[in-house]
Amino acid sequence: MGRVKVGEHLWVNLSRRSLCDNCSADLCVYERGEIVEKCDHFTPILVAFKKCQRCDSIYEVASNFRALNYELCPRCNEEALTVRE
């Protein structure tokens, strides 16, 4: 479980297992019980945006659910991961 600070007193808990765990759909015909990392039909429970500390782009917090660093956007997280390898 990831915990992301999106406001002075507001935190969002994100499941790191699957994007479906963070989706607001009660009944989804696209969920097959497997781990989902990308979905065109994903609808977050709470829409929250952050500004990336590295590149200043704005990103939706729930789309970054598997990030190593929640202060960076998905693209910068991916770049940081490839640098480590």
Mean model confidence pLDDT for the chain: 85
Asked if residue 1 has pLDDT above 70, the reply is yes
Residue that has been written with the tokens 């990336």 in this structure? 52
Q: Is 33 left (phi over 0), alpha (psi -120 to 50) or beta?
A: left
13-42: per-residue pLDDT in tens?
Answer: 888 888 888 888 877 887 777 888 888 888
Number of structural domains in the chain: 1
Q: How far apart, in whole angstroms, are the C-alpha atoms of residue 51 and residue 72?
A: 8
Query: 10: alpha, beta or left, given left = phi > 0 and alpha = psi -120 to 50?
Result: beta
Q: Kindly give the residue spans of alpha helices, DSSP state H, lying in 2-84.
A: 74-84
Domain span including residue 70:
2-84
Position 54 confidence tier, pLDDT thresholds 50, 70, 90 = very high
